[in-house]
Amino acid sequence: MAAKPPERTRVSRRDLLKGAGVVAAAAGSGTAQAQTPAAPVRREALETLSATEADILEAFCARLIPSDETGPGAREARAAHYIDRALGGALAASRETYRAGLLALDARAMRAKLIPFHRLNEADQDAVLTTLEEEDPAFFSMVRGHTLQGMFGDPYYGGNAGFAGWDLIGYPGIRLGVTEAQQAFEPHLQKVRMSAYDFSMFDRSGARVAMASPAPVDPAHMASGMGDAEHDR
């Protein structure tokens, strides 16, 4: 009989970011141990999800990349808003998977704690998510990947509010001309806090047409912080 893997009682911000290749963000960040609730963040109008689904997703994202002493997390970066918007366009093929997965997550919380997931304290949310990761790794991994996109992608797509993700990893911003020093990703470079679509060479009208297409497009490249004209806000 295979040995049971050691129980993981906390979702690690460090492990999450390192697993995504965001080593600079992971350095010194530690695990999600703060118990002080984050300041309330006003949520934008929903575009795809129901209010219940959005509450569950926002709490999910907030525990994947919690705010801590190193800076804001996924809640402040509006990662759930990015996902909600994308589920009406580029991620439309995943809409039903999200609906079923989020409601199943809430049902897990109700069975275990008799409280909806988004109302659980952080430790209990982490325990429920640990079980989800073990029992439904595909759904957990999908939400994790989209949360990273919403945290670090171009803010034009609805996440990375206030450039919180770029500040976290020290990304200096989009540049159309790149010098050798800039390629070295040196921290002293002046920050450029602009979306790719703030540059005239990117056509927003073309992006709107592409986003309206029923063909699903996985915007995995958004996590690079660049984006392109294939997706809309």
pLDDT at 70: 82
Q: Are 189 and 172 in contact (CB under 8 A)?
A: yes
Burial group, residue 143, by CB count within 10 angstroms (0-12, 13-18, 19+): buried
| DSSP 3-state of 62 | helix
Residue closest to 72 by CA, chosen among 140, 143, 169:
169
> How many residues appear in the chain?
233
pLDDT at 40: 54
pLDDT at 153: 92
The whole-angstrom separation of Cα 7 and Cα 25 is 25
pLDDT tens series, the chain, 233 aa: 444 444 444 444 445 544 444 433 333 333 333 333 444 556 677 899 999 999 999 999 999 999 988 889 999 999 999 999 999 999 999 999 999 999 999 999 999 999 999 999 999 999 999 999 999 999 999 999 999 999 999 999 999 999 999 888 888 777 676 677 656 655 556 677 767 666 666 666 555 434 433 333 343 344 343 333 334 43
The whole-angstrom separation of Cα 83 and Cα 58 is 10
The whole-angstrom separation of Cα 195 and Cα 173 is 9
| DSSP 3-state of 68 | strand
Residue closest to 111 by CA, chosen among 145, 139, 135:
135
Other beta carbons less than 10 A from residue 49's beta carbon: 23
- Planar angle of CA 183, 66, 162, nearest 5 degrees: 55
pLDDT at 143: 97
In the numeric block, which tokens belong to residue 169? 């990893």
pLDDT at 45: 77
